[in-house]
Amino acid sequence: MIEVIFLAIALSMDAFAVSIGLGSKPVSSKFRLAMIAAIMFGLFQGLMPLLGYLGGKGMLGWIDGFAPWLAFALLALVGAKMIYEGFAEGIEEDIAQITFKVMLILSLATSIDAMAAGFSLTLLAVQPLLACLVIAAVTAVFSALGVYIGHRSGTWLEGKAEVFGGLILIAIALKMVVG
């Protein structure tokens, strides 16, 4: 279960970073924005790994021999992408107004990586629904916190969160093949 907690923290860092950027924007209610971010990012981050798990479970019979290496490659690529994005400018700077459509797009964009990471759940000795609930809950908490952190301190922590998440995913990927 410790792997699931680390996976949840790592996957939530994209949503956390975006939430920091959103929190730095002027809005009428930070509480409302924090709750919307928590619900939407948490929901998508919880559902996408489940889709990845189900896809991986369906393919497991075909790829059983090299499944750990495939999980390693997927997690390492997602981790490297997060590290790269941690050093790049976020899309939050381009957002003029935070609407439901914007939040929906951001929720989907931050959770695509979680679908690829969900494949690794097929190789862990965990209950997949419980794992997805943990991922959703951790993401919801980090998203709400991110809004408040962004409101208080601006975006200086945004890129660092993504780099941190990427490093955790790479460490999990290495554990998949090393043991």
Q: Which domains does the chain have, with CATH numbers?
A: 2-178 (1.20.1250)
For the stretch 136-169, pLDDT in tens is 999 999 999 999 998 888 766 666 777 777 788 7
Quote the pLDDT of residue 35.
97
Paired tokens of 72:
């390693």
Q: What is the pTM of this model?
A: 0.78
Most confident segment among 17-21, 76-80, 121-125: 17-21
For residue 12, the SS3 value is helix
**Cβ-based burial of 179 (10 A; exposed 0-12, middle 13-18, buried ≥19):** exposed
Paired tokens of 110:
């931050």
The stretch 43-49 carries a mean pLDDT of 95
Average pLDDT for the chain: 82
Closest CA to 53 of 2, 113, 123: 123
- Which amino acid makes up residue 153? S
For the stretch 102-135, pLDDT in tens is 899 888 888 888 887 887 787 777 898 999 999 9
Q: CA–CA separation, 23 vs 5, rounded Å? A: 25
